[in-house]
């Protein structure tokens, strides 16, 4: 995933979370909001409550891989915030992908 496709700024995160559409399941919470760009942007959040930095980065890499593998399922010109929930911890990559695709 290239840098221009990433939501980094805190104000953008809050805008998408407060104004966007929300979908939830046991593994993820996904917020989406229309943007004025010609491409999608993604923000990934894993809470410090779930584990240390190594653990959080591992799950962020898994989520990025899921996004890259399923780009065809997205609407164009949207911002997405993907938040990992406690129910996702310990699940296999295939199960995480299934849970993710249910929401998209």
pLDDT band with cut points at 50, 70 and 90 for residue 1: low
Q: Map residue 31 onto helix, strand or coil.
A: strand
Residue 9, pLDDT > 80, answer yes
pLDDT, one tens digit per residue, over 55-76 is 999 999 999 999 989 887 777 8
Mean pLDDT (the chain, rounded): 89
Q: Which of 66, 74, 77 is nearest to 40 (CA)?
A: 77
Phi-psi region of 90 (alpha: psi -120 to 50; beta: other; left: phi over 0): left
Structural domains of the chain sorted by starting position, each given as residue range(s) with its CATH number in brackets = 3-103 (3.30.230.10)
- pLDDT tens digits, one per residue of 80-92: 999 999 988 989 9
> In the chain, which ranges are continuous DSSP H helix?
10-19, 53-69, 93-103
């Amino acid at each position: 995933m290239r840098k221009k496709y990433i939501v980094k700024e805190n104000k953008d995160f809050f805008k998408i979370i407060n104004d966007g559409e929300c979908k939830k399941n046991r593994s993820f919470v996904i917020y989406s909001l229309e943007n004025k760009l010609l491409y999608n942007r993604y923000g990934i959040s894993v809470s410090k409550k779930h584990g240390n930095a190594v653990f959080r980065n591992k799950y962020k890499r898994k989520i990025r891989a899921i996004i890259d593998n399923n780009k065809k399922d997205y609407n164009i010109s949207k911002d997405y915030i993907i938040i990992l929930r406690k129910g996702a911890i310990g699940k296999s990559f295939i199960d995480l992908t299934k849970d993710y695709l249910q929401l998209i």
